[in-house]
Amino acid sequence: MTTNPNVTRRTALKGAVAGLIVAGTGAGGLVFGHGNAWAATAENLDADTFATLVQMSRDTYPHSRLDDSFYAEAVSVLDTAAKDDAGLKTMLTEGAAKLDKEAMGLKAASYRTMSSEDDRVAILKSMEGDGFFQKIRGNLVTGLYNNKKAWPLFGYEGESASKGGYIDRGFNDIDWL
């Protein structure tokens, strides 16, 4: 996965207050994080939909070791795909709206401003059989865990053939057994 030009990681700050990661949206599709930690540009989805999906993505696979921008990058993949896929765009837009509707019913707040992670996850749980949820989840399996920049954060070293494999680099170096 190459660096996405539509997502900027501005500082190393982890944004979240109570796990909330989107501070707001602005003109031109701008979506930005708390503490100005990251910013993304929604090219095809509207900024509010994009912002909701970023929050949903973190709630689906929450990793404190991952900067918020990784989730924004994953959503950006869908945003790009929505350009030539009207069905996908509708699914994402309506799905995000449904999250907000459920959240409003529960706490009189939008999904991405609902402060309890448990409440947000309960909404996701109620929708996990939906095509929309599975689309977001499936996208993250590759969009998050196949992002080469994330690999070192999980202790995964990736390609090794060009380094001569691990024959001289610790293939059997376990020392605690």
Partner 1 sequence: MATFDKNDDSVVVIVGSGAGGGTLGAELAMKGVKTVILEAGGRHETEDFQNDEWGSFGQISWLDKRTTSGSWRVAKDFSGLPAWIVKAVGGSTIHWAGASLRFQSHEWKAATTYGNVPGANLLDWPIDAIEMDPWYAKAEDRMGVTRTNGIPGLPGNSNFKVLEAGARKLGYNEVHTGRMAINSEPRDDRSGCMQIGFCFQGCKSGAKWSTLIAEIPKGEATGKLEVRPNCQVLQIQHNDQGKVTGVLYADKDGNQHLQLARVVCVAGNSIESPRLLLNSASSKFPDGLANSSGQVGRNYMRHMTGSVYAVFDKPVHMYRGTTMAGIVQDEARHDPSRGFVGGYEMETLSLGLPFMAAFLDPGGWGKDFAWWMDNYENMAGMWLVGEDMPQETNRITLHATEKDQFGLPVPNVNFDDHANDIAMREHAFGRGEAIYNAVGAVKTFRTPPYPSTHNLGTNRMSEKASDGVVNKHGQTHDIKNLFVSDGSQFTTGAAENPTLTIVALALRQADFIAGEMSKGNI
CB count in 10 Å sphere of residue 93: 18
CA–CA distance, 28 with 155 (Å, rounded to integer): 37
* 135 lies in the site for partner 1, by CB under 8 A: no
- Does 18 participate in binding partner 1 (rule CB under 8 A)? no
- Mention every residue, 6+ apart, whose C-beta is less than 8 A from residue 12: 37, 67
In the set 14, 135, 137, 149, which binds partner 1 (CB under 8 A)? 137
Which tokens in the block code for residue 139?
């996208």
Structure tokens at 68: 């918020």
127 is a site residue for partner 1 (CB under 8 A)? no
63 forms part of the interface with partner 1 (CB under 8 A): yes
C-alpha distance from residue 172 to each of 65, 166, 175 (Å): 27, 9, 9
Question: For the window 67-96, what string marks contact with partner 1 as x by the rule CB under 8 A?
Answer: ------------------------------
Query: Closer CB to partner 1, residue 27 or residue 177?
Result: 177
Binding residues (CB under 8 A) for partner 1: these are 60-63, 65, 121, 124, 128, 137, 141-142, 144-146, 151, 154-162, 164-167, 169-174, 176-177
